[in-house]
């Protein structure tokens, strides 16, 4: 398999685990060429169908497209910071296959169930309990690093940056 130079850091965790907050702090701590990409960006831009029933019907296809777009952006030479909730084993398998040519660093972002519920209540834009449903995400992914988003943000960012720099890789520099 041909290896490509593009690098991908994936933050995976439940909704309200703190991925977006972490991503905002992590991005300036890395090399400046990393692009931020998340499925929420598509949703926030109005990408999904307007009707809830239609959204449900095409949800799987939208995530297939999102996964392929990660690979497409990387194949075009972009380094990516990706925020995701891998909801099914098939998604993890698909991402593993699609991203195999790239230097990928998986980070599991954890928070306690009580903290996730607390954050959901504070946000007000989530159904309380949605994050608990997504706790299963961690059983689908093999991580290079796992972090606790309840720790101080600066420590968590440092932990990811150091883990990223220290990773073992066989890709071209």
Residue ranges of domains in the chain, CATH in brackets: 7-166 (3.40.50.300)
Secondary structure in 3-state letters for 91-147? HHHHHHHHCCCCEEEEEEEECCHHHHHHHHHHHCCCCCCHHHHHHHHHHCCCCCEEE
Of the ranges 8-12, 14-18, 164-168, the best mean pLDDT one: 8-12
pLDDT at 102: 96
What is the number of other CB atoms lying within 10 angstroms of the CB of residue 113?
Answer: 12
pLDDT at 172: 46
Q: What is the mean pLDDT of residues 65-75?
A: 96
Q: Report the distance separating Cα 83 and Cα 23, nearest Å.
A: 8
| Total count of residues recorded for the chain | 173
Residue 138 has phi, psi (to 5 degrees) of: -70, -20
Sign of CA dihedral 144, 86, 7, 16: negative
pLDDT at 165: 92
The Cα angle at residue 153 between residues 9 and 41, in degrees rounded to 5? 50
**Strands of 103-110's sheet in order across:** 34-38, 79-84, 7-13, 103-110, 145-148
Q: What percent of the chain has pLDDT over 90?
A: 55
pLDDT at 60: 85
Q: Report the distance separating Cα 11 and Cα 22, nearest Å.
A: 9
Q: Report the distance separating Cα 103 and Cα 64, nearest Å.
A: 20
Task: Residue 39: name the closest of 26, 27, 48, 49 by CA.
Answer: 48
- Judged by DSSP in three states, 70 sits in helix
Burial class (CB in 10 A: 0-12, 13-18, 19+), 156: buried
Query: Mind listing the pLDDT tens digit for each residue in 130-150?
Result: 766 667 788 899 999 999 998
Residue 108: beta bridge partners? 12, 146
pLDDT at 3: 66
Look up the pTM and report it: 0.86
């Amino acid at each position: 398999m041909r290896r490509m130079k593009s690098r991908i850091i994936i933050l995976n965790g439940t909704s309200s685990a703190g991925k977006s907050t972490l991503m905002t702090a992590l991005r300036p701590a890395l090399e400046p060429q990393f692009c931020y990409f998340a499925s929420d960006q598509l949703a926030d831009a109005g990408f999904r169908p307007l009707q809830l029933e239609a959204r449900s019907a095409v949800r799987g296809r939208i995530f297939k497209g999102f996964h392929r777009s990660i690979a497409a952006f990387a194949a075009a030479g972009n380094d990516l910071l990706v925020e995701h909730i891998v909801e099914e084993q098939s998604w993890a398998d698909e991402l593993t296959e699609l991203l195999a040519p790239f230097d990928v660093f998986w980070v599991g972002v954890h928070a306690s169930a009580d903290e996730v519920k607390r954050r959901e209540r504070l946000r007000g834009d989530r159904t309380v309990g949605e994050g608990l449903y997504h706790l299963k995400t961690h059983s689908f992914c093999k991580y290079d690093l796992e972090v606790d988003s309840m720790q101080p943000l600066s420590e968590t960012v440092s932990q990811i940056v150091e883990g990223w720099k220290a990773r073992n890789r066989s890709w071209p520099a």
